[in-house]
């Protein structure tokens, strides 16, 4: 099974031979765009891989799966799954010099479905990812004020007090759920378009358009800023964070290893999924980007370097985030404790110096023995630092609620807010470049746009259509739609596509031919590590992750968390079940890209056989006529 190669006649006719490649390279006769220099290519790939997930998904996974211990499955799977897949995509793109759809169609026309599935997934993700960028822009625009709008509750209509929804939750929650999203209590109520979000949405798409207006010609210039600025901001935040009180609590909490977590399969599953999504594999964008390289570019070295950078960025970002989270948690803990102390002082009329932070526990115990009913009546809150440290810190909750709250407590808050949101904006935008590449190039390969149209027009039409469809996420219920798309549109299809990619290259294109290609391109045959991972280890890991993912997703109830001011549990999010018609949407999101692969293969097969049958009858008729 190692050396299995499926029959693939006609492959030689579809691809350029090594000599032809060299010739095209020398004479620069190809009409493909090219990178201005290696740095642009590396920065674009790094920007595509390093995205919002490194900042708001990895730190949460790390902390919830045993801190430092999570590094072990993460690094193991990075080496066994991430790097081989990355090298494979780079090499195949550089060799066949086509976008993702072109590559699979070239390997075998029946495999066009893989390219179509990639394109569908890139499309789904682009739609909602840019809405997240719109939210980031909204917060960025609102950061240019002396008092940040999410630091205090607004007054109600008759100026007698603060708005009840805000009073019951918190200013940051209120700003996020009400003033930004204006969220409805359930997904069925759409709540209409929010005009301020529409403006930010249009701004986000316009910004993206200006960066991709001429493909990599303009993207290549934009990445000098969008890929490097996040690192600068992270470093600034690290320095600022380490000087705040309580930051070391956060970092300690993050990295304290809990080796018992390694025994749980969910840890390994989450690590594998994180490595996979973090590398933006199976989107088609990386294949496209590497196809603009010169034929003898060292793709092996690139793959290793980018993987190392990606892994390092995840850990670095996690450290920075947790210094700030440690600060916030310590601040909350101190406030909780002082609140309790004040309540005790007031109830027992003690002098202020009688109870300090350190003597609090003893005093409470002593008072509880003598006046237990008074203590009960006071309803003291339990203040636990670890609880504060592990409060819902992933995804949009981390960026827009937890981190923004922490920023309001730092001196010169507007500066930190602006820096933070510019960093998120750059991270998101550079990932969008790859997503859009994964849509536009297949569309060009499918000849959807007329050949006479200039590049500016094709990118404009794509952006306009995506902008229009993205209006779903600007409604009151937009946040629920977004998490639906995120959970189902961006997970299972990618895993399926990645698995098919590996199988196609190794067994349909042929691992021998692939090895020869790499020898031709970089000068030496890939060593045993690559052979083992490409042929056996990585496909097996992908299969495991895919199967377990499907099992967990299918077996769990379809629930979503809603912000409902009328519910009793408010301000905690309420879990609600999706309405029945959501299943159709989920099928469209997750099922159609996966089904496209076999469906298009069968369709092409039928078309081919009907054509050969036609050809046969045509020649038969000719023979008959000649007779």
Partner 1 sequence: MLGKIFFLLCLSSAWAEDLCSKAVPPEAYYVRLSIKTALGDKAYVWNDNEMFLFQATLAFAMRSQFSGQEYNVSNIVVCDETPRVSFWFVVTSLEDPSRLVSRGDVEQAVRKSRNRINSAFLLTDQTLEFIGITPTLAAPVAPNTPPWLIVFGVVMGAVFAGILVLLVLPLIQKKRKKNQPMEDEDSDEETQVKTAENGPERSGVYNMSFSDDDKFTQM
By CB under 8 A, residue 15 contacts partner 1: yes
Among 158, 195, 263, 349, binds partner 1 (CB under 8 A): 349
47 is in an annotated binding site: yes
Nearest Cα residue to 69 out of 251, 262, 252: 262
CA distances from 221 to 182, 228, 241 (A): 37, 12, 31
Angle ∠(478,484,486) on CA atoms, nearest 5: 100
Query: For residues 438-497, which are near partner 1 according to CB under 8 A?
Result: 456
Kindly give, in sequence order, each residue whose CB lies less than 8 Å from that of residue 444, ignoring residues fewer than 6 positions away.
99, 458
By CB under 8 A, residue 154 contacts partner 1: yes
Among 5, 161, 235, 359, binds partner 1 (CB under 8 A): 161
Shortest Å distance, C-beta 349 to partner 1 = 4
By CB under 8 A, residue 378 contacts partner 1: no
Shortest Å distance, C-beta 143 to partner 1 = 9
By CB under 8 A, residue 10 contacts partner 1: yes
3-state DSSP percent of the chain in helix, strand and coil, to 5: 75, 0, 25
Per CB under 8 A, the segment of 13-21, 473-481, 492-500, 588-596 that binds partner 1 is 13-21
By CB under 8 A, residue 508 contacts partner 1: no
Per CB under 8 A, the segment of 21-29, 259-267, 286-294, 579-587 that binds partner 1 is 21-29
By CB under 8 A, residue 412 contacts partner 1: no
Say if residues 489 and 125 touch (Cβ distance below 8 Å). Answer: yes
Neighbours of 525 (CB within 10 A): 12
- Tell me the CA end-to-end span of the chain in Å, nearest whole number: 50
Q: Which is nearer to partner 1, 245 or 264 (CB)?
A: 245
User: Could you give the 3-state DSSP secondary structure of residue 394?
Assistant: coil
Neighbours of 6 (CB within 10 A): 11
Say if residues 340 and 357 touch (Cβ distance below 8 Å). Answer: no
Instruction: Phi first, then psi: give them for residue 232, nearest 5 degrees.
Output: -60, -50
Which pair of structure tokens corresponds to residue 194? 């929010």
Query: For residues 210-249, which are near partner 1 according to CB under 8 A?
Result: 210, 213-214, 218
Per CB under 8 A, the segment of 10-18, 69-77, 310-318, 508-516 that binds partner 1 is 10-18
Which pair of structure tokens corresponds to residue 130? 């840019």
Shortest Å distance, C-beta 452 to partner 1 = 15
Instruction: Phi first, then psi: give them for residue 118, nearest 5 degrees.
Output: -55, -45
Query: For residues 99-138, which are near partner 1 according to CB under 8 A?
Result: 102, 105-106, 109, 137-138
Report the distance separating Cα 425 and Cα 433, nearest Å. 12
Q: Provide the annotated binding site.
A: 47, 50, 54, 278, 310, 427, 431
Q: Provide the annotated binding site for Na(+).
A: 47, 50, 54, 278, 310, 427, 431
The site for partner 1 (CB under 8 A) is made up of 10, 13-16, 20, 23-24, 27, 102, 105-106, 109, 137-138, 140-142, 144-145, 152, 154-155, 159, 161-162, 196, 199-200, 202-203, 206-207, 209-210, 213-214, 218, 338, 342, 345-346, 349-354, 456, 608, 611
């Amino acid at each position: 099974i190692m050396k299995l190669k499926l029959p693939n006649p006609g492959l030689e006719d579809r691809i350029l031979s090594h000599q032809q490649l060299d010739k095209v390279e020398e004479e620069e006769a190809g009409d493909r765009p090219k990178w201005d220099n290696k740095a642009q290519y590396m920065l674009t790939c790094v920007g595509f891989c390093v995205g919002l997930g490194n900042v708001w998904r990895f730190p949460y996974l790390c902390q919830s799966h045993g801190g430092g211990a999570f590094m072990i499955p993460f690094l193991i799977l990075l080496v066994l799954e991430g790097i081989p897949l990355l090298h494979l995509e780079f090499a195949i793109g550089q060799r066949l010099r086509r976008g993702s759809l072109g590559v699979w169609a070239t390997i075998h026309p029946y495999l066009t479905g893989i390219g179509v599935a990639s394109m569908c997934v890139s499309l789904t993700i682009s739609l909602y990812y840019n809405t997240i960028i719109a939210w980031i822009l909204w917060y960025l625009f609102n950061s240019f004020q002396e008092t940040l709008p999410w630091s205090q509750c607004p007054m109600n209509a008759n100026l007698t007090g603060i708005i009840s929804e805000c009073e019951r939750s918190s200013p940051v929650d209120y700003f996020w759920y009400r003033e930004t999203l204006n969220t409805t209590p359930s997904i069925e109520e759409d709540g209409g378009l929010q005009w301020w979000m529409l403006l930010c949405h249009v701004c986000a798409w316009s910004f993206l358009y200006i960066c991709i207006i001429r493909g990599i010609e303009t993207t290549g210039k934009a990445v000098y800023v969008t890929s490097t600025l996040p690192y600068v901001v992270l470093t600034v935040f690290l320095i600022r964070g380490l000087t705040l009180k309580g930051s070391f609590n956060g970092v300690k909490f993050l990295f304290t290893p809990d080796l018992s977590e390694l025994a749980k399969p969910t840890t390994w599953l989450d690590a594998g999924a994180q490595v996979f999504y973090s590398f933006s594999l199976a989107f088609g964008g990386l294949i496209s980007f590497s196809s603009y390289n010169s034929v003898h570019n060292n793709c092996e070295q690139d793959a290793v370097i980018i993987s190392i950078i990606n892994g390092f960025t995840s850990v670095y970002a996690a450290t920075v985030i947790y210094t700030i989270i440690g600060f916030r948690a310590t601040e909350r803990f101190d406030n909780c404790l002082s609140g309790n102390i004040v309540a005790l002082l007031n109830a027992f009329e003690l002098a202020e110096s009688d109870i300090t932070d350190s003597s609090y526990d003893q005093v409470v115990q002593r008072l509880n023995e003598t006046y237990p009913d008074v203590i009960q009546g006071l309803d003291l809150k339990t203040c636990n630092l670890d609880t504060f440290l592990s409060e819902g810190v992933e995804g949009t909750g981390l960026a827009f609620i937890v981190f923004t709250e922490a920023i309001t407590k730092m001196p010169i808050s507007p500066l930190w807010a602006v820096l933070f949101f510019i960093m998120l904006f750059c991270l998101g935008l550079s990932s969008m470049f790859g997503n859009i590449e994964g849509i536009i190039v297949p569309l060009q390969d499918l000849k959807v746009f007329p050949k006479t149209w200039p590049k500016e027009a094709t990118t404009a039409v794509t952006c306009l259509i995506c902008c229009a469809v993205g209006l779903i996420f600007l409604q009151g219920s937009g946040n629920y739609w977004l998490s639906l798309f995120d959970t189902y549109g961006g997970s299972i299809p990618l895993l399926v596509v990645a698995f098919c990619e590996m199988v196609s290259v190794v067994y349909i294109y042929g691992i021998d031919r692939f090895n020869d290609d790499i020898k031709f391109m970089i000068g030496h045959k890939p060593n045993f590590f690559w052979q083992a991972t490409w042929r056996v280890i990585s496909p097996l890991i992908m299969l495991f992750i895919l199967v377990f993912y499907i099992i967990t997703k299918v077996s769990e109830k379809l629930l979503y968390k809603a912000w409902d001011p009328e519910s009793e549990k408010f301000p905690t999010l309420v879990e609600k079940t999706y309405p029945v018609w959501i299943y159709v949407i989920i099928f469209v999101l997750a099922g159609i890209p996966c089904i496209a692969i076999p469906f298009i293969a069968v369709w092409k097969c039928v078309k081919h056989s009907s054509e050969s049958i036609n050809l046969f009858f045509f020649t038969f008729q000719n023979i008959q006529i000649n007779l």
